[in-house]
């Protein structure tokens, strides 16, 4: 089968597409025919060797996908060939097929849109759990979302509105800010003079930050008394240093969300959140915004669109369809 391969940590330009052996389902595993895989910023960090956990080379990048079951391993129950599923892995999704633990898969309705399903996973789960479990966002509060046109950011905009918050989106261009307004943001601001602009908009009770870098401190300074600053990633490539005197003087809480820790300490909470997200997608209350779809042969271009922040919403790779044009 064909797969995207990373043979050396570093530039996206070093990625290649080649033939590798088809996976075989072992005990507790399922092989899935990947119909669509979503690009996440963490995929880029893993390729660069800059993620918190290293992937030994060579490897196939990609962490989020949807498709159909082709093989079920021993001791696996609840899955059958042909089932529509979505799931996540550390690496391996940017390939025509992927083998995953059965526990990492969710069975979907048979008529599901698999591209939408691939775009609805990690970003929405990150935003939902960060807002509900960590930020404890309440109806009537004001939520400021940094990187609001990205995958996690746009999910947070939609979810914040559904949770009854007033949502202020922060994004880098008017095109992206327009998209945020269309997806439910009450206001949309640029990064320039962020503290003053956020304060002028009334401040925020919660800041959700998937960006980090230089914008973290101005956003924190615009929090109201007792506000909550929640970090979920560092897309800017820089982990910010927060002056703790601000935390003390403003009564602020600085919190974080990362799947691994919650999976180790409270898997039940994650399961409840996943069930609620499934319901919201099934009822049509949530719908992912897909920016572009790329073939496997142009997977490096898909990754570059996310790395260069030219995309808004989710970027997908469809490994089984070589006829998809660039960014279709």
The count of domains in the chain is 2
Q: Which residue did the predictor score with more confidence, 264 or 19? A: 19
Angle between helices 299-307 and 41-48 (to 10 degrees): 100
For residues 135 and 249, state if they share a domain.
yes
For residues 59 and 150, state if they share a domain.
no
Q: Which residue did the predictor score with more confidence, 8 or 325? A: 8
Q: What is the four-CA torsion angle of 218, 222, 227, 228, rounded to 10 degrees?
A: -30
Distance (Å, whole) CA 97 – CA 114 = 15
For residues 106 and 183, state if they share a domain.
no
All residues at 6 or more sequence positions from 284 whose CB lies less than 8 Å from its CB, including other chains: none
pLDDT value of position 189: 98
Report yes or no on 257 lying in a domain.
Answer: yes
Domain boundary among 213, 243, 261: 261
For residues 222 and 152, state if they share a domain.
yes
Report yes or no on 326 lying in a domain.
Answer: no
Report yes or no on 9 lying in a domain.
Answer: yes
Report yes or no on 245 lying in a domain.
Answer: yes
Report yes or no on 269 lying in a domain.
Answer: no
> What are 205-230's pLDDT values in tens digits?
999 999 999 999 999 999 999 999 99
All residues at 6 or more sequence positions from 217 whose CB lies less than 8 Å from its CB, including other chains: 240, 242, 243, 246
pLDDT value of position 320: 78
> What are 118-177's pLDDT values in tens digits?
999 889 999 999 999 999 999 999 999 999 999 999 999 999 999 999 999 999 999 999
Report yes or no on 277 lying in a domain.
Answer: no
For residues 182 and 94, state if they share a domain.
no
The kind and range of the H/E element at 256 are strand 253-256
Using alpha carbons, list the distances in angstroms from residue 208 to 55, 145, 254.
Answer: 28, 5, 11
Report yes or no on 148 lying in a domain.
Answer: yes
For residues 142 and 212, state if they share a domain.
yes
Beta bridge mates, 4: 17
For residues 235 and 183, state if they share a domain.
yes
For residues 160 and 104, state if they share a domain.
no
The average pLDDT across 297-309 equals 92
For residues 184 and 253, state if they share a domain.
yes
Report yes or no on 284 lying in a domain.
Answer: no
Per the structure, the complete domain to which residue 64 belongs is given by 2-120+289-318
- CATH number of the domain within which 240 lies: 3.40.50.720
């Amino acid at each position: 089968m064909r797969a995207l391969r990373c043979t050396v940590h570093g530039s996206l330009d070093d990625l290649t597409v080649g033939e590798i052996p088809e996976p075989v389902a072992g005990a507790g595993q399922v092989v899935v025919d990947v119909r669509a895989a979503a690009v996440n910023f963490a995929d880029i960090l893993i390729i660069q060797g800059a993620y918190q956990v290293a992937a030994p080379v060579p490897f196939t990048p990609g962490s989020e996908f949807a498709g159909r079951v082709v093989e079920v391993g021993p001791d696996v129950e609840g899955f059958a060939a042909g089932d529509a599923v979505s799931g996540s892995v550390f690496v391996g999704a940017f390939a025509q097929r992927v083998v995953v633990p059965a526990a990492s898969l969710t069975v979907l309705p048979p008529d599901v849109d698999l591209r939408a399903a691939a775009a609805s996973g990690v970003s929405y789960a990150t935003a939902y759990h960060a807002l509900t479990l960590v930020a404890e966002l309440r109806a009537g509060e004001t939520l400021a979302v940094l990187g609001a046109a990205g995958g996690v950011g746009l999910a947070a905009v939609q979810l914040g509105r559904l949770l009854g918050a007033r949502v202020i989106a922060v994004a880098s261009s008017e095109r992206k800010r327009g998209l945020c307004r269309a997806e439910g943001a009450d206001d949309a601001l640029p990064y320039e003079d962020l503290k003053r602009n956020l304060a002028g908009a009334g401040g925020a009770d919660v800041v959700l930050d998937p960006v980090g870098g230089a914008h973290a401190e101005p956003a924190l300074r615009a929090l109201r008394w007792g506000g909550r600053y929640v970090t979920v990633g560092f897309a800017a490539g820089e982990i910010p240093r927060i002056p703790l005197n601000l935390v003390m003087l403003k009564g602020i809480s600085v919190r974080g969300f990362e799947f691994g820790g919650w999976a180790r300490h409270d898997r039940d909470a994650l399961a409840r959140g996943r069930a609620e997200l499934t319901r919201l997608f099934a009822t049509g209350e949530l719908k992912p915004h897909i920016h572009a779809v790329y073939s496997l042969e142009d997977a490096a271009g898909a990754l570059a669109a996310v790395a260069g922040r030219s995309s808004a919403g989710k970027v997908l790779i469809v490994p089984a369809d070589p006829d998809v044009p660039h960014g279709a």
